[in-house]
Structures are given as C-alpha cells and as structure tokens.
Amino acid sequence: MGQRGLDLLHITARRQIDMFHRIGRIVVRHPVWTIVAWIFVAAGIVATAPSLPSNSDQSSFLPKSYESIQAADLQQSAFPSAFTPSAIVLYQRSDGGKLTPDDLKDAARITGELGAKKIDQVQQVVPGPPSKDGRYVLGLVSMDTKNAGQPTQLDAAKTLRSDAKELTKGTQLDAKLGGSAAQGLDQQDSSSRANTLTFVGTFAIILITLLIIFRSPILAVLPLVVLIALVFSTANALIADAGKLFGLQANSSTSALLIVVLLGVGTDYYLFLMFRYRERLRAGDEPKVAMVNAVGRVGEAIASAAGAVMISFLALLLSTLGFLKQMGPALAITVAVTLLAALTLFPAICSLIPPRALFWPSKAWLKEPSNARFAALGRGVQRRPALFAVVSGVVMIALALGTLGFKATFDLASGSMPKTQESMVVQTEMQNAYSAGAAEPTSVLVTSTGDGRLDTAALPAYERKLSAVQGVADVQPAAISKDGRTANITVTLKYGSATDQAISAVGDVRDVAHADAPPGTKALVGGMSSIYKDINAAVNHDYRTVFPLAALLIMIILGLLLRSVVAPWYLMASVGLGFGATLGATVLIFQKGQGHSGLMFMLPVIMYLFVVAIGTDYNILMISRLREEAREGRDPREAASRAVRHAGPTVAAAGFILAATFATLMLAGNSLLTEMGFAVSFGIVVAAFVMAMFFTPSLTALIGHAAWWPGHQDRKSPPDVETVDARELEPSAKN
C-alpha cells in the first residue's frame, strides 16, 4: 500500500473520530431536546406497537423442507379428523394403590364430562388405556392442530387442568394434566417466574456493583431507570413491529434473554462512557467538554462493539431453527436501541447534572487513582508479554479439551422448566408405567405416488419389518385415509421421544420405512422423535453456516475499526479459544460434574454468538485504548502496559457486571437457562479477565508494529481530543 493509501486510511480514521465528536457536541449542546425527543419517539413506538404472539410448538422450529414437518402436513391433510392427543389426563388413586373397578368408572365418567364441557380448542376427550401395573388410566384430549402452541390452547390446558381436579372431588382419584399443551402452559408459567427472578437478580447486581464502583447513588440508579423506563419498552415495541412485519413469533426463553442483554450490555456501554468521562474530568476538561471528548473517544469503540454483537445476532437469520431465527433479530434490535441510548441519551442526561452532584457524595472523581493493581498487571505485560500470552493461551486450550465430551440433548420442554412442574411429573410417570415412547408415538405415513389407491395387502408385511427395527416397542395396524391413498402406521418406541436412543431408533425406522415402502408409494416418518432428529440436522447446518459467517463479519468490523488485516486474525483466534474454553468448562461442570446426559442442543450456537460477539466488545475496548496510547508516541510494549492500566478497570467492571447478570439466569430453575447462564457468564469472564486483560495486549505487544499493517494506526498522530470552548456548548451560543 502506497503513501496515498495510508493517508486515506488516516483521513477515514479522523473522520470517524470527528463523527462521534459531532454527535457528542450536538447532544451536549441540546440535552433537553435530546431527552424530550427520546420520550416522544419512545411513547409513539410503544403506543402503536402490536402485541407479539408467543409459540411453544417445537415443530414450528423447523422449515417445511424437513421430513418430520412434511409428515405432519400429510397427516393433517390425509387424516383431518384423526385423533392426535394434545393433552393427556393421567388418573391414579390418591393413596398410590391399584385402580378398582369403581375408580375406572369414575375416570371414564370424568373424561366424558370434560368432553361435554365443550372447552374452546378441545375437539374430543376420550378414554385411554390403563397401565400394565393397573395403577394408572388415561384420558386423551385432542385439540385443533393448527393452533398448537398458541395462547388459546394454553388457556384450554389451564381450564382442563382446573376442571379435571374439580371433577375428582368426592372420588379416590387424583388427576394430572400432561402432554404438549400442558407443557406449553407450564413453560409459560415457568418463564414468568424466571423473568421475575432474572430481572430482580440483574437489577440488584447492577445496582450494588455500580454503587461500589462510583460510590454515587445517582450514577448507580441512572442506567437502570433509563434502560428500564425507555430503552426496554422501546426495544420491545420495535421487536413487536418487526414480528408483525416479518411474521416472527416469540419464545418463552427469549424474554429472560432480552432482560439480561438489555441491562447487561446497556450497563457495559454506560460504564465505557462514564469511565472515560471521569478520566477527562480528571484531565482538567470542563464538564461539557469532557462529555464531548468522552463520546468522541469511546464512541467508536462502543459503536464497533455493538455492531459486532448485532451482526452476530442477525447471522441467526440464516439458521434453519425457528427458535434461533426469531431470537436473533429481537436481540439485535435490543442492542441497537441500547447503542443509541449510550451515544445520545446517557450523555444528554449526565451533561445536565453538574459533576459534584452526579458523583455525590464521592470525591474520588476529582483525582486520578494509582490503579496500582492494573498498573502492576500492565508492567507485567510490558516486561514479559510472551509469558502472559503463553500462560493464558495454555489455560484456554486446557479447558477447551473438555469439548471432546460434548453431547446434545433435545428435550426442550423438560429443559425449559423444573421437573416438579405437573406436565413433567406426568411425563415421568407415563414413561415408568407405559412404554417410554407411548406419550409421543412415531407416525409412519405411506402415501401413493400414482393416481391409484394404496395396495393395503402389502401393508402387514411392511408393518412386520417396522416392528423388527431395534428400539421399536409396538406397531399398530395401519389406519387408511378416506380416499384410500394414505396409510398411517403408529410406531411406539421403547424410549422417551427426546432421548438419544429414540433419535437413533427413529433414524433406523426411517431407513426401513424408506427402503421397504411398498411399490408405488412414498414413506414419511413423523412424530416428536422425528422432529428432534431433524432439529439435530438443523443444528449441524447452523454450525457450518452461522458460525463462520458471524466470525467473518466480526473480522470485517475489526478490520474497519483498526484499519488492519493482521490484528483481526489473532483477535478472532483469541475469541475462538475463549469459546472453546467456555464450552469445555460447561461440559465438565454439567456433564461430568452433575451427570447431565447432555447439554441443550442450541447451547453451543447461543454461546458462540454471545461469547464471540460480546467477548469481542472487551477486545475492542482494550485494543482501541492500546492504539490510542501508541498514537501518542509510545512503543508497542509500553502502549500495551498503559492500555491495561487505563482500560483494565473498565473491562473488569463491565465484565463482572455482564457475567453476573447472565449468571442470574441460573436462578430460573430449569436446565436450559441454568446451562445458558453459566456458559455465557463463564465465557464473559474468560473474555474480560483472560483474553482482553492478558492475551490480546500481550500478543499485540509481541507482534509490535506489524499488528497494525497496512494502516499503521499505531503511528504518532494528534490526540483524539478536541479543543472546545465550553461556551460553544451552551444552547444559546452561535455555531
């Protein structure tokens, strides 16, 4: 690259810095109008936003191209009045003994009365078979399959559960409601409790931590009030608008994540800004000038960090899983609104409050602290960068070895709520009393590919071949559609639908069903085990597409920020090591330590995006400060030392708060959010306290000037601080 190219890079860099200075000047000069504009725009967005529907139907996670979804569609069209239980009433004696003839009569009567109530969405309620041990009997409830997982069916499940318990009064029976509709209802209730616990825990952690950091009640309360009162409501309304525009639906786990992302990331950006504002005040800037320079200096890092997070979340649009495809835009919108607040709303509010009042009662903002610990860490990085790089790298590699034991589990229902929920109790008791796969059987649909009807004479031999498959407990004779073109063969597996054995068995069922289908027919295998097998295939697809794309886009952002093609490579390598260490530690804790059969199937994808995207935030903040120190004429090792000294406290505080907020997900009481909370919080700790604090500055110090090739952003240049007359920032001043 010639001198002209280098000069263009420097001009571009200055323009970006000037852009954030201009934003700071406008906001600080017109703080009241900025705040008023936020309030009016937020009120308008919230007032006009539609409600966002929720869906807990797991089959909706997959597109129509997957066999399990095609089978479900064929079953619905060929057997529109077929009985498919959406809910199951499980009857047993109150004393746990065997059912008597009178008990069986009571169960049949209650089942009939439930059907006679004509509950909305309920199509039929029919008696089911007793268990082999004589302790249980079932009532089977069918609902409109078009509304599976929708709020109307959750309401129907709630009514069914209440009515069944009421009707058992005066008998020796207990009635519990299970099945997919009941699981959706329990997921909803569990999610509400999880959201409350997450919100309270996150709020308390942020408030206490900010009080310790700033020793000022105003600075501690300010971000929470702003983020909750304005940013959260605005983001939620925009998510609802996007949902209506693009046909997206919410999932029960998304709300808890939105709370954590909003408060955690929003507080991080607030800390980035306020630490720099306090630094400029200590350097002698007038308050308004200090805020302009704070926005100008740290605005590029905040915008780049937010851009990396948003792009990573938007990469989820390429996912084939509806859950992730719905979650990605929602989280990206949340981060976008948070970024806008960090660059405009926070500076506007803080510039209205005199520093003595803003930082009251603390006076620590008046003088530069020694930062002795971070200064010592910085000197260590300066003297022995190779040692710090090797030790931190070896620690991450050692933890990453745990990924070799990773196994996935696909039971999202039981993973997203405690085992004590009623629908989970029903699932467990049915697996023990009946065949484990009885609650969610597999359907093999055989349909004619020609113009004629099926040759039903060939079906008994076909059924015998299916019954011989390893893992199959029972095969029911085929039901034939009215037009005679499609047969539905119910296959009961020996295993619970979400287990590894069931997913493996349904794969074998598919192989036999496809290979031995009668001539002139096509076979499709449906049911929950088939859906889980397709979800597994979809996750593997996401590993091959979402991961590389997110990494590539983040590298592009880093390249544009640093004007370098060298630094993004080792920065992404460090983040990749952090991801491996996080997944390995999660496997060791939950699979090896707590004996979990596996981790939730989507956890690596979510963890990758959070750890890679948010972990990059801290790398960006540290490398930006390192570049800033280098541009003041310091050599690479000294620049790394000073970057650790000055940016280290910000990274440590922000990393602690964000890790602690994600850790509150572990209070939710279900394995999905517990695993997610641990994994992401651990990953953020690694990103902040290993990668950003040691690995990245050490490598940059070792690589030296070559790290900034071809832009050479580390060469000496004028400081990124504007000389501004404070009078220019008064609203009445002339431009």
Q: Is the pLDDT of residue 479 over 90?
A: no
Q: What is the mean pLDDT of the segment spanning 76-91?
A: 81
Neighbours of 82 (CB within 10 A): 14
Q: Is the pLDDT of residue 81 over 70?
A: no
Q: Tell me if 435 sits within 8 A of 473, measured CB to CB.
A: yes
Tokens of 124: 């039929």
Report the residue count for the chain: 735
- Residue 465 is predicted with a pLDDT of 93
Tokens of 541: 């697809």
Which of 211, 218, 83, 109 lies closest to 167, judged by CA? 109
Please state, in angstroms and rounded to a whole number, the distance separating the CA atoms of residues 561 and 203.
Answer: 32
DSSP-derived 3-state class of residue 69: helix
- Residue 735 is predicted with a pLDDT of 39
DSSP-derived 3-state class of residue 486: strand
Q: What is the mean pLDDT of the segment spanning 122-143?
A: 87
Q: Which helix (H) or strand (E) holds 73?
A: helix 67-78
Residues contacting residue 681 through CB under 8 Å, at least 6 positions apart: 658, 659, 660, 662, 663
Tokens of 47: 């007032």
Please state, in angstroms and rounded to a whole number, the distance separating the CA atoms of residues 309 and 510.
Answer: 40
Please state, in angstroms and rounded to a whole number, the distance separating the CA atoms of residues 492 and 230.
Answer: 52
Residues contacting residue 111 through CB under 8 Å, at least 6 positions apart: 89, 125, 126, 127, 139
Please state, in angstroms and rounded to a whole number, the distance separating the CA atoms of residues 179 and 105.
Answer: 23
Q: What percent of the residues of the chain are helix, what percent strand, and what percent coil, each to the nearest 5? A: 70, 10, 20
Residues contacting residue 13 through CB under 8 Å, at least 6 positions apart: 563, 711, 713
Lowest mean pLDDT among 69-83, 116-130, 461-475: 69-83
Q: What is the CA radius of gyration of the chain?
A: 30
Name the residue type at position 566: V
DSSP states along 169-218: TTSSEEEEEEHHHHHHHHHHHHHHHHHHHHHHHHHHHHHHHHHHHH--HH
DSSP-derived 3-state class of residue 223: helix
Residue tagged 């952690």 (tokens): 205
- Residue 7 is predicted with a pLDDT of 45
- Residue 436 is predicted with a pLDDT of 67
Span 387-440, pLDDT tens digits: 988 998 899 999 999 988 888 877 666 556 667 778 888 888 887 777 667 767
Q: Tell me if 644 sits within 8 A of 629, measured CB to CB.
A: no
Q: What is the mean pLDDT of the segment spanning 175-198?
A: 78
Please state, in angstroms and rounded to a whole number, the distance separating the CA atoms of residues 324 and 327.
Answer: 5
* Angle at CA of residue 251, ends 181 and 156, nearest 5°: 25
Q: Is the pLDDT of residue 249 over 50?
A: yes
Q: Is the pLDDT of residue 703 over 80?
A: yes
Residues contacting residue 200 through CB under 8 Å, at least 6 positions apart: none
Confidence of residue 6 (pLDDT cuts 50, 70, 90): very low
Higher-confidence residue of 621 and 522: namely 522
- Residue 2 is predicted with a pLDDT of 44
Q: Is the pLDDT of residue 140 over 70?
A: yes
Tokens of 1: 């690259």
Span 631-670, pLDDT tens digits: 887 888 898 898 888 888 888 888 888 888 888 878 766 6
Q: Where are the beta strands (DSSP E) in 604-727?
A: none
Within 13 A of 589's CA, how many CA atoms are on the CB side? 16
- Residue 506 is predicted with a pLDDT of 92
Span 557-614, pLDDT tens digits: 888 877 888 888 888 888 888 889 999 999 999 888 887 777 888 788 878 777 777 7
Please state, in angstroms and rounded to a whole number, the distance separating the CA atoms of residues 71 and 487.
Answer: 12
Lowest mean pLDDT among 47-51, 58-62, 379-383, 548-552: 58-62
Tell me which DSSP letter residue 89 carries: E
Which of 16, 161, 10 lies closest to 90, judged by CA? 161
Name the residue type at position 624: S
Please state, in angstroms and rounded to a whole number, the distance separating the CA atoms of residues 258 and 241.
Answer: 16
- Residue 730 is predicted with a pLDDT of 65
For the chain, the straight-line distance linking the first and the last C-alpha, in angstroms and rounded, comes to 39
Burial environment of residue 282 by CB neighbours within 10 A (0 to 12, 13 to 18, 19 or more): middle
Confidence of residue 486 (pLDDT cuts 50, 70, 90): very high
Q: Is the pLDDT of residue 14 over 50?
A: no
Confidence of residue 100 (pLDDT cuts 50, 70, 90): very high
User: Which of 48-52, 138-142, 181-185, 255-259 is the most confident on average?
Assistant: 138-142
Please state, in angstroms and rounded to a whole number, the distance separating the CA atoms of residues 41 and 231.
Answer: 11
- Residue 522 is predicted with a pLDDT of 93
Distance of CA 640 to the CA centre of its chain: 34
- Residue 445 is predicted with a pLDDT of 93
Higher-confidence residue of 86 and 58: namely 86
Please state, in angstroms and rounded to a whole number, the distance separating the CA atoms of residues 518 and 458.
Answer: 6
Neighbours of 369 (CB within 10 A): 11
Higher-confidence residue of 604 and 244: namely 604
Burial environment of residue 649 by CB neighbours within 10 A (0 to 12, 13 to 18, 19 or more): middle
- Residue 413 is predicted with a pLDDT of 60
DSSP-derived 3-state class of residue 289: helix
Distance of CA 188 to the CA centre of its chain: 17
Tell me which DSSP letter residue 134 carries: S
Span 325-378, pLDDT tens digits: 778 888 889 999 999 999 999 999 999 999 999 998 888 777 766 666 888 888
Q: Is the pLDDT of residue 723 over 80?
A: no
Q: Where are the beta strands (DSSP E) in 436-589?
A: 442-448, 472-475, 479-480, 486-493, 521-526
- Hey, what's the torsion of the CAs at 614, 619, 623, 626, to 10 degrees? 120
For the stretch 200-229, what's the b/e string if a residue is b when 16 or more beta carbons lie within 10 angstroms of its beta carbon?
Answer: ebbbebbeebbeebbbbeebbebbbebbbe
Q: Tell me if 60 sits within 8 A of 320, measured CB to CB.
A: no
Name the residue type at position 85: P
Q: Between the CA of residue 715 and those of 130, 417, 496, 558, 562, what are the distances in Å? A: 80, 55, 63, 18, 12
Please state, in angstroms and rounded to a whole number, the distance separating the CA atoms of residues 85 and 52.
Answer: 27
For the stretch 342-362, what's the b/e string if a residue is b when 16 or more beta carbons lie within 10 angstroms of its beta carbon?
Answer: bbbbbbbbbbebebeebbbee
Q: Tell me if 180 sits within 8 A of 429, measured CB to CB.
A: no
Confidence of residue 76 (pLDDT cuts 50, 70, 90): confident
Please state, in angstroms and rounded to a whole number, the distance separating the CA atoms of residues 197 and 175.
Answer: 30
Q: Tell me if 160 sits within 8 A of 102, measured CB to CB.
A: no
Q: Is the pLDDT of residue 55 over 60?
A: no
- pTM for this predicted structure: 0.76
Name the residue type at position 358: L
- Residue 228 is predicted with a pLDDT of 84
Residue tagged 């199959």 (tokens): 472
Residues contacting residue 4 through CB under 8 Å, at least 6 positions apart: none
Q: What is the mean pLDDT of the chain?
A: 83
Neighbours of 461 (CB within 10 A): 10
